[in-house]
Amino acid sequence: MKITKKINYWLETHACAPAYSGWVLVGISICYLGAGINTMAGWLYVISGVSFALLAISAFMSVRSLVGIIVKRRPIAPVTAGDDLKIEIEVHNHRQQPVSLLQVRDIIPYVLGQPVQQSIEVIQPQDSYRWIYYLPTQRRGVYRWHRVELATGAPWGLFWCRRQRQCEAMAIVYPTVLSLNNCPLIDEIGQDDSHRGDPRGIPLQTATTGLVRSLRPYRLGDSTRLIHWRTSARYGELRVRELEVITAGQEIIIAIDSSGQWEQELFEQAVITAASLYFYAHKQKLQVQLWTAATGLIKGDIPVLETLAATNPLEKNSIPPDHSPLIWLTQNSFTTSSLPFGSRWLLWQNPDSLAETVINREYPGIIIQNEQELQPQLQKALSLFESDFSD
């Protein structure tokens, strides 16, 4: 059965192949021809000849129907994982005759689903048909495909003919960006650095009492010296000052250990985390960049999203920068032992290698628990994490 399908498909794509009704007519025509030979009846020859003529005309017309058909594709707008891609294909009829009974099939990557097809009843001469469909997405990535298949059974459905048209497509699916209300890994990195000073000997300028960025409700782990007592008395609840703690020259680099070995699901979580941390830091008016092994340092919303959409484990090995604090995302705990001054880390542990975990206790970090939701873990107070590391 598979061999028969392959032969039939090869005939359809290189010439044409009889449809079921075509095979029936072929059988009837042969029967009439055989009966005419046996009986020498002229009318049997006529019926047989007319039937074969219909088959020949149908085969010729089905091939000719696809001549002069041009397929163009509109650019595909990027979406976030979970949203639908909008696919627009235009089929142009450059012939002087109408085209009918046309089937268009978009050969999409198998990771996005099965090929999608659309039937078109008729396209008038020098006219076009616009086909729009929506393709659901589940995972980020950069997807490319190259072919659209045209098929027709015109004019009588006795023969099928298929031809492929080159039609390049590229769809970018961005990773999900979590909405973080706070993130101690980023919020406290400047406070930590301001107490230690810059490794080049230049002290970081932290805010004094008068330089307050905003006031927010008190959270467990906040220092009592940051409580704004007058505002707290007015609102009847504790309010804490958020200070401007990072100077204009300070940079934060979010780095993914994309050259290392990862489990795919854990790497997807790391990509989501990197996107969420980047946009949270950007919202906080910090100078933030993204680093991956394949691209190096990247900045700008769209370039960062495109980089995160395309990144994968086991990329070419390059050395992370050491001139700015890193927020290091890794599955290998040994890579946390040599981080630049003021860095932070997030570790996705392989349950099979818990005994080999080596944690850098010099800088705070988070061990991501795979069975828990990611967003709350990124918003937990940093002091709670530090207590987890103290034996």
Check the CA dihedral 300-254-245-377 and report its sign: positive
% of the chain at pLDDT higher than 70: 85
Q: What is the pLDDT of residue 188?
A: 76
pLDDT tens for each residue of 104-133:
999 999 999 999 999 999 999 999 999 999
Q: Which residues pair with 91 in a beta bridge?
A: 71, 129
Domain parsing of the chain, residue ranges: 1-174, 184-204+249-389, 207-244
Name residues of the chain where pLDDT drops below 70. 1, 190-213, 221, 242-250, 350-362, 382-391
CATH 2.60.40.10 is held by the domain 1-174: yes
Q: What is the pLDDT of residue 213?
A: 56
Q: What is the pLDDT of residue 391?
A: 39
Report the chain's terminal Cα–Cα distance, integer Å. 67
Q: What is the pLDDT of residue 382?
A: 59
Q: What is the pLDDT of residue 255?
A: 93
* Residue 144 neighbours by CB distance under 10 Å: 10
**Alpha carbons 324 and 250: distance in angstroms, whole number:** 8
Q: What is the pLDDT of residue 209?
A: 42
Q: What is the pLDDT of residue 352?
A: 60
The pTM for the full model equals: 0.76
**Alpha carbons 370 and 113: distance in angstroms, whole number:** 28
Q: What is the pLDDT of residue 351?
A: 60
Q: What is the pLDDT of residue 285?
A: 84
Q: What is the pLDDT of residue 302?
A: 94
